[in-house]
Chain A
Amino acid sequence: MRTVLYDEHIALGAQMTDFAGWEMPVKYSGILEEHRAVRQGAGLFDVSHMGELYLMGKEAYSYLNKLLTHNMSRLLDGKWAYSPMCYPSGGTVDDVIVYPWREGYLVCVNASNTDKDFEWIKSNAPEGVAVENISASFAQLALQGPDFKAVLEKVDLSAVHLKTPTGYTGERGCELYLAPENAPSLWCALIAAGAVPCGLGARDVLRTEAALPLYGHELSPEISPYEAGLDRFIDFSKQDFIGREALLRQREDNKTRRLTGIVMQGRAIARSGYEVFSPDGEPIGIITSGGVSPSLGRNIALCLLRGDFGGESVLVRIRGKNEPAEITPLPFYKKIR
Chain B
Amino acid sequence: MSQVIEGLYYSKDHEWARVDGDSAYVGITDYARTSLGDIVYCDAEPVGAVVTAGGTLGAVESVKAASDILSPVSGAVTEVNSDLLDNPERLAEDAYENWIVKITLNDASELNALMDAADYEAYCESL
Contact = CB atoms under 8 A, between A and B. Distances in A.
Interface residues of A, number: 16
Interface of A: 15, 26-27, 30-32, 201, 204-205, 267-269, 271, 291-292, 319
What size tier do the contact residues of chain B reach? Answer: 10 to 19
Q: Which of B63, B66, B86 has the most CB of A within 10 A?
A: B63
B61 A269 contact: yes
A13 to B, nearest CB: 13
B66 A267 contact: no
B38 A32 contact: yes
Interface in B81-102: 85-86
11 contacts: A26-B64, A27-B37, A30-B38, A31-B63, A204-B64, A267-B41, A267-B85, A269-B41, A269-B66, A271-B66, A292-B41
A267 B43 contact: yes
A294 B86 CA distance: 15
Contact of B63 (A201, A267, A319): A201
Nearest to A27: B37
Nearest to B38: A32
Given A201-B63, A205-B63, A291-B63, A30 B37 contact: yes
Given A27-B37, A271-B66, 5 more contacts: A26-B64, A31-B64, A201-B63, A269-B40, A292-B63
Contact of B59 (A27, A204, A292, A319): A319
Contacts of B40: 269, 292
Contacts of A27: 37
Contacts of A31: 37-38, 63-64
Contacts of A204: 64
A290 to B, nearest CB: 11
Contact of A201 (B43, B64, B86): B64
A86 B66 CA distance: 34
B38 A268 contact: no
B16 to A, nearest CB: 23
Contacts of B43: 267-268
A287 to B, nearest CB: 13
Interface in B61-75: 61, 63-64, 66
Contacts of B66: 269, 271
B41 A268 contact: yes
Nearest to B63: A31
Interface string B16-46: 0000000000000000000001101101000
A70 B110 CA distance: 64
A201 B37 CA distance: 11
The 7 closest A-B pairs by CB, nearest first: A31-B63, A32-B38, A292-B40, A269-B41, A31-B38, A269-B61, A30-B38
Nearest to A291: B63
B63 A32 contact: yes
